[in-house]
Amino acid sequence: MYHAFQDSKGYIWFATDNGVSRYDGYEFRNFSQKDGLPDNTVFEIYEDYQNRIWFVPHSAKFSYFKNDSIFEYKYNDQLQKKLQLSSNPNKLSFYIDSLDNLYYGDVYNGGFIVDRYGGTKKIKNFDGIINLLLINNKLILNTLTDNSKSGDNINFIHLISVDTILNKLPNKTRQNRHIGFAKNENVFIATNNFLLHLMEKRLNAKKLKHPILWISEDRENNLWTGTRKGAYKFESFNIDKEPCLHILKNKNITSVLQDSEGGYWFTTLLNGVYYTPAFSVLNFKNDSILSKSVYAISADKKSNWLGLNNKIVKLATLTEKELINLDKDNVIIKDIFHDTNNDKVWIASRFLYSIGKKNVIKHSFKYKSNITTGAQPKGIISKENGEVWLATSIGIFKSSKENFFEPVSNDIKYKIKFNSICLDKTETKIYCWSNDGLCT
């Protein structure tokens, strides 16, 4: 997987070597050559001024998504005639300006412009060496030295070539990969192990331990780099200091995206995609109760619920908490289930409890000819009619009268250990899973 990108409608797109995938918050929709992609190996995803979603593949045969369909770029053939067969796209070196000119650069061929009529020309090098072109904060390999017309603002990055920059670094070995972006008056470039910060009159350089595969900013004004050994976060774009965070340390990080809700997506070369909703962590190590081991956690609209050893903690705010003791049974809380149909919270441990508005109830089960409390609930569902079903270590039970549960059937197949239970959306089927398989 090479790139994670969020479009203007909120969809999350992923570029992979098996096509592209779009996530709508609930499910993934996959696209491949069968859907119109010219090449399944896609390195970059980009949205232009018309909200077309462009796919930049290994072959440099471009396509875009519009009106729920994929269309191949009509001037692919003209560009292909200009490129060497060994072409290998340089990620983040692709741009469509407001006049529909296409800019593209790779490490073997340099930069090209294809205008809206199919006219294709190579962007001339400055002094015969590789440079960077900056268009509306988007970097393209090479610098324009002629007067080609563009619909957007073009800067020359002070006519500083990448080679000139590298000659100032301790390692003068010529690099063959340049990626980066611009932020206000600053330009950030990554080339192999070096992270460069170009300002008006000076240059900062940071050498990382591992080759850099990605560089970008998040919504909180932090700089992220993806490397062969994890992702690094530089707070407030300050590369003079050490990174404040290093995660996924054994993964090849090919892109980092912070989405519109603040969550972070990390694509990797061989291990798929990782997601975390936030990096903010509260530590309760000095709290006499919350510093203990937590075995279950859940939330309703008003509070967080934590299951500890013998206790339930209802946490309304960071300082406002309610303690519900189950000390006499010496149990570890395994699960917390919010039952909106009965306005209760069910607590699963070695026993079953329910917490209502006023009291805590310990429930009993009819098992064979006996009454027991130790059914060890494993899963729970609640139906709209108020009926509660349980998967337990001794069978499937349902509520019959207050505080009491009975077996759903006398059939022996329902009197074994069940591990989970699930209700379908229509409430017409209940699925129960045991070590012997699935039953309904």
Among candidate residues 52, 49, 129, 43, the one with its CA nearest the CA of residue 93: 43
- Counts for the chain of helices (H) and strands (E), in that order: 2, 43
Q: How far apart are CA 440 and CA 419, in angstroms?
A: 14
Q: How far apart are CA 256 and CA 2, in angstroms?
A: 10
> Which structural domains are found in the chain, ordered by start?
3-276 (2.130.10.10), 334-439 (2.120.10.30)
Q: How far apart are CA 219 and CA 8, in angstroms?
A: 15
* pLDDT bracket for residue 418 (50, 70, 90): confident
Q: How far apart are CA 224 and CA 246, in angstroms?
A: 10
| pLDDT on residue 127 | 39
CB distance 135 to 114 below 8 Å: no
* pLDDT bracket for residue 163 (50, 70, 90): very low
Q: How far apart are CA 44 and CA 84, in angstroms?
A: 20
Among candidate residues 46, 42, 110, 54, the one with its CA nearest the CA of residue 79: 110
- Whether the per-residue pLDDT at 144 is higher than 80: the answer is no
* pLDDT bracket for residue 161 (50, 70, 90): very low
Tens digit of each residue's pLDDT (9 = 90 or more) over 291-324:
888 888 888 888 888 888 888 888 887 778 888 8
Can you tell me the mean pLDDT for 11-16?
97
Among candidate residues 109, 156, 113, the one with its CA nearest the CA of residue 132: 156
CB distance 422 to 373 below 8 Å: no
Tens digit of each residue's pLDDT (9 = 90 or more) over 371-411:
776 678 888 888 888 888 888 888 888 888 767 888 887 77
The average confidence (pLDDT) of the chain is 81
Among candidate residues 206, 208, 130, 125, the one with its CA nearest the CA of residue 162: 130
Coil vs helix vs strand at 145: coil
Coil vs helix vs strand at 94: strand
Among candidate residues 146, 145, 168, 155, the one with its CA nearest the CA of residue 95: 155
203 against 425, higher pLDDT: 425
Q: Which amino acid is at 29?
A: R
310 against 184, higher pLDDT: 310
Count of CB atoms situated within 10 Å of the CB of 86: 9
CB distance 131 to 147 below 8 Å: no
For the chain, how big is the Rg over CA atoms in Å?
29
- Whether the per-residue pLDDT at 102 is higher than 60: the answer is yes
Count of CB atoms situated within 10 Å of the CB of 259: 19
Token duo for residue 170: 């301790």
